[in-house]
Amino acid sequence: MATDSGTSTAAVGDVAATLDPADWDSFAVLAHRMVDDMLGHLRTVRDRPAWQPMPAGIRASFSGPVPWEGEGAERAYEDFVRTVLPYPNGNLHPRFWGWVHGGGTPLGMMADMLASGLNAHLAGFNQAPALVEHEVIRWLAELMGMPAGASGILVTGATMANVLALAVARFAKARDAGFDVREEGLQGRAGSRLMLYGSTETHAWANKAAELLGLGRASFRQIPVDDAYRIDVAALEAAVAADRAAGHLPFCVIGTAGTVNTGATGDLERLAAYCRAERLWFHVDGAFGALARLSPALTPIVAGIEHADSLSFDLHKWMYLPFDVACVLVRDPAVHHATFASSASYLAVVTRGVTAGGFPFAERGMDLTRSFKALKVWMSMKAHGVHAYAALIEQNVADAAYLAALIGADPELELLAPVPLNVVCFRYAPADVAAERLDALNAEILVRVQEEGIAVPSGTRLRGRYAIRVANVNHRSRREDFRMLAEAVKRIGRENAASGCPEPGALSPGTPRTRPDRA
């Protein structure tokens, strides 16, 4: 018996085994300590480095054996405090602007704890947690300008939200073309492809989705962008026409509200009108940009988003909530349901008891067992109010403009793309440094800024040039933080330019190889 139990909770005689604490009082003491410690950690985050490398000894501690014997909750928590807590990627920090990672909120954290405590199963069921998710989706649909009655579901991230939306688009447009993709799949349609369109700035999820949904990457046409990194609609129209002439079946256009590289938003009004006229599904990836619609001042930037057939956006980016939570909205609830419903569910529509109302969320996506993500959204929206989010989003946009202005006024720095929203791409480029050295030099600057714990921007490539990228969805940043970044970039730039290294081509290990920024 030594092999399989290894736990102090094994049944002995009449005492049933359980994972509930043997001593609730001492567990409560530990639980309160966890809450106090974590709140303390959040409260003091500004005093710590934005990021720090992990010592080798800590790294090695993650190569341990399977823990057959329990060490107890206290020890497990101490392991967390010592080896995990100090070494995250830094996204809680006021000077974290790498990729588009939100920083979470204390209230969101507590709501997640409550949701885990309740451990609600969100396939549906006749329970209050399901009504919470329905209510949140109704609120979000209204805020996005979608019709009342639009369908939706909360999922892990915009990637999954986009994949689900594309599955709905594929089902709907295949049905219009006379075949049932749920029954037949895409097999046997050799020669006539379902074609998908988006700009070259579309986030990398679209390739994954095209692969997963059996469309194949060759069915995803990446349309060029203009000088402001927005999809060239004339080129889109030409591509659709050419594919139709070749016997293909164009079915969906992806518009992006807020591209990950530069924060660009396509002409969504024009895309919507074009898709309507051409009977194409109009999907908008609004991972962070869609939330600009919460601010009346910023709404014009994403005008047209309300015409989308489907719209995806994260709540863990520009609603600052803890990972993970995103939303997909589908204008036509019937087609959303028809894409994922299992025929078995029609057989037994129960109107009383725990299963009354069925499993609506299991029939709007892939997951059957789903966590109560909706609680942190619901509590946060109630607690802070949408106006608070609008003000923070405006603050992020204004701070990005502030940083862009600092860069524009500084002869040593160069802005590499327009700043329509909250993303700033720039580099250290004083007149006396040769152009061919700039990529390697800026890649080195980026890594040094991170290693010194000053800030965490990320890197990207724009029209072949290496850029330091600040994506600001941080509700903890202040103006001084942006000044600190600009000063650090110049100091490190001067130090490295003077030392004459690195040479062109000698890119540092931190230099991204392919599309590092696609997060």
Question: Rule CB under 6 A: which residues touch ligand PLP?
Answer: 100, 157-159, 203, 205, 256, 258-260, 285, 287-288, 314, 326, 519
Contact in structure between 379 and 106 (CB atoms under 8 Å): no
Minimum distance of ligand PLP from residue 289's CB (angstroms) = 7
Minimum distance of ligand PLP from residue 216's CB (angstroms) = 20
Minimum distance of ligand PLP from residue 205's CB (angstroms) = 5
Minimum distance of ligand PLP from residue 206's CB (angstroms) = 9
The smaller minimum CB distance to ligand PLP, of residues 318 and 426, is found at 318
Q: How far apart are CA 312 and CA 306, in angstroms?
A: 12
The smaller minimum CB distance to ligand PLP, of residues 7 and 200, is found at 200
Minimum distance of ligand PLP from residue 323's CB (angstroms) = 8
Minimum distance of ligand PLP from residue 105's CB (angstroms) = 17
- Rounded alpha-carbon distances, angstroms, from residue 37 to 30, 96, 267, 327, 451: 10, 22, 47, 31, 26
The smaller minimum CB distance to ligand PLP, of residues 105 and 259, is found at 259
Contact in structure between 261 and 469 (CB atoms under 8 Å): yes
The smaller minimum CB distance to ligand PLP, of residues 423 and 497, is found at 423
Minimum distance of ligand PLP from residue 292's CB (angstroms) = 12
Q: How far apart are CA 507 and CA 47, in angstroms?
A: 31
The smaller minimum CB distance to ligand PLP, of residues 371 and 496, is found at 371
Q: How far apart are CA 428 and CA 413, in angstroms?
A: 5
Minimum distance of ligand PLP from residue 415's CB (angstroms) = 20
Residue 285 sits at φ, ψ, to 5 deg, of -90, 105
The smaller minimum CB distance to ligand PLP, of residues 309 and 314, is found at 314
CB-count burial class (<10 Å; 0-12, 13-18, 19+) for 107: middle
- Rounded alpha-carbon distances, angstroms, from residue 381 to 188, 259, 314, 319, 390: 48, 25, 15, 9, 12
The smaller minimum CB distance to ligand PLP, of residues 181 and 421, is found at 421
The smaller minimum CB distance to ligand PLP, of residues 326 and 375, is found at 326
**Residue 224 burial (CB count, 10 A):** 13
The smaller minimum CB distance to ligand PLP, of residues 202 and 496, is found at 202
Q: How far apart are CA 133 and CA 221, in angstroms?
A: 35
Contact in structure between 198 and 254 (CB atoms under 8 Å): yes
Residue 320 sits at φ, ψ, to 5 deg, of 65, 10
- Interior/surface letters 120-159, b for 16+ CB within 10 angstroms, e for the rest: bbbbbbebebbebbbebbeebbebbbbeeebbbbbbbbbb
**Residue 2 burial (CB count, 10 A):** 7
Closest by Cα among 6, 5, 2, 373 to 157: 373
Residue nearest ligand PLP by beta-carbon distance = 157
Minimum distance of ligand PLP from residue 256's CB (angstroms) = 6
Q: Which helix (H) or strand (E) holds 404?
A: helix 386-408
Minimum distance of ligand PLP from residue 363's CB (angstroms) = 22
Minimum distance of ligand PLP from residue 125's CB (angstroms) = 27
The smaller minimum CB distance to ligand PLP, of residues 99 and 359, is found at 99
The smaller minimum CB distance to ligand PLP, of residues 260 and 485, is found at 260
The smaller minimum CB distance to ligand PLP, of residues 127 and 156, is found at 156
3-state SS class at 357:
coil
Q: How far apart are CA 169 and CA 153, in angstroms?
A: 16
Minimum distance of ligand PLP from residue 439's CB (angstroms) = 24
- Give 161's strand partners: none
Minimum distance of ligand PLP from residue 88's CB (angstroms) = 16
**Residue 276 burial (CB count, 10 A):** 12
- Give 155's strand partners: 326
Q: How far apart are CA 471 and CA 400, in angstroms?
A: 8
Q: What is the DSSP letter of 52?
A: -
Contacts of 137 (CB under 8 A, 6+ apart): 151, 152, 153, 154, 327, 329
The smaller minimum CB distance to ligand PLP, of residues 422 and 477, is found at 422
